Amino acid sequence: MKTATSPVMIGDGAARAARKYISQNFAEKSVLAVCDTNTEPIAKEAFDGIERFAFPGDVIADPELASPLSERAAAKKCLIAVGSGTVHDLVRHTAHELGIPFISFPTAPSVDGFASSVAAMTVSGQKVTFPSSPPVALFAEPEIFAHAPANLSAAGVGDMLGKYISLFDWRVANIVIGERIDGQIYALEQSALEKVAKAEPGSREFAVRLMGALVTSGLAMQAAGNSRPASGSEHHLSHLWEMHCINEPTAALHGEKVGVATLLLLNRYRSLEKFILRKNRYEREYLLPAFGKLTDGIIRENLPDPLSGLSQKTLDDKKGELQNAISLLPEPDFVRGLMASCGCKMTLASVGLPDTPEFVSKSLEFAPYVRRRVTMLKLCHIG
């Protein structure tokens, strides 16, 4: 399997190893450490003597906000991302635009995007993924990330447990439209998920395993060349909520929303008995009330319809295979217990979203339009 990030080091001494890697490969004054005001003390200590650029602590991954970084980085030969998801996306995007490498130095096990090759950015409110470059090297120091705020680690658990749904949706797409599954990449993502599902939360060891799982998931996306192994209908729900079209903005973290979406879908997928083909509609009038000014972008994203030509008869014929895929999903109570023991948020209300049947059905109706990707939610009626 081909990944471009090497070395990947998660363990004691990683901060020292990062320093050594930099001095062996770059002149220190040609390197810029990029952080936010929350992670600046870490950048200062780990990369003392290296020039720094700090975003405000509440920055979002909007390419426009990356332009001051582009100016500062223009004369540099390498960037270091010292932070969690947003800092990584801003650095990944900037490094790619400037055609220079970057080093990943994650400070919290909060998302799986560190080693990935796509940057998830927010452009005029719409969540867009930009092709980008993966980090040339990754160093994660437990002395740092094991002490990250508990809500960041809990969000990382939510992002990781979402892979139960992502991998299930990949199988569903394979069954109904013959989308290819790369067995090696599938197994890699599954092994990452199992690292989290089988560990005892709360310990330093757990933080190391969680970081290992998140980095592995990013490497799986890198090897796939897209986010298929790690993003299905649970991410489409989370992205829909992050677009703020059908809800007010919420301060919840990405992984917190993914965790809530995972529970919501898991219950419904596990109890699916009939597979009734969903009618996806791509008319402007239908999508406009839900997506507002993002509607045209949504239509472009979705066409050509990946399910065109698929009939109810095909679903009837595939019933046994779909039931088999469902039987591989974990018990919702198991996932709920795991999330509770990790301090994850588990309800819509806890992530600042309306906890009403109307909001749930609106979310289930429109989330599949966020991406063209085939998922169970795009395929069947889910009540």
Return residues touching Zn ion (CB under 5 A): 159
| CA–CA dist 14, 102 (Å, integer) | 16
Cβ at position 165, least distance to Zn ion in Å: 11
**Which residues have a Cβ under 8 Å from the Cβ of 76 and sit 6 or more positions away?**
30, 31, 32, 98, 100
Nearer residue to Zn ion within complex by CB, 69 or 111: 111
Kindly report the backbone phi and psi dihedral angles of residue 129, in degrees, each rounded to the nearest multiple of 5, phi listed first.
Answer: -105, 130
Task: Report how far Cα 261 is from the mean position of its chain's Cα atoms.
Answer: 13
| CA–CA dist 243, 291 (Å, integer) | 9
| CA–CA dist 344, 263 (Å, integer) | 11
Nearer residue to Zn ion within complex by CB, 131 or 383: 131
Nearer residue to Zn ion within complex by CB, 175 or 351: 351
Which residue's Cβ lies closest to Zn ion? 159
- Integer Rg of the chain from CA: 21
Amino acid at 9: M
Cβ at position 232, least distance to Zn ion in Å: 11
Cβ at position 67, least distance to Zn ion in Å: 25
Nearer residue to Zn ion within complex by CB, 36 or 159: 159
Cβ at position 217, least distance to Zn ion in Å: 8
Amino acid at 224: A
Task: Report strand pairing: 78-83 vs 126-131.
Answer: unpaired
Cβ at position 100, least distance to Zn ion in Å: 26
Amino acid at 245: C
Nearer residue to Zn ion within complex by CB, 40 or 159: 159
Q: Give whole-number Cα distances, 316 to 30, 76, 176, 312, 323, in Å.
A: 61, 58, 11, 6, 11
| CA–CA dist 96, 305 (Å, integer) | 31
Nearer residue to Zn ion within complex by CB, 97 or 159: 159
**Do the beta carbons of residue 171 and residue 236 sit within 8 Å?**
no
Cβ at position 315, least distance to Zn ion in Å: 29
Cβ at position 233, least distance to Zn ion in Å: 13
Nearer residue to Zn ion within complex by CB, 141 or 256: 256
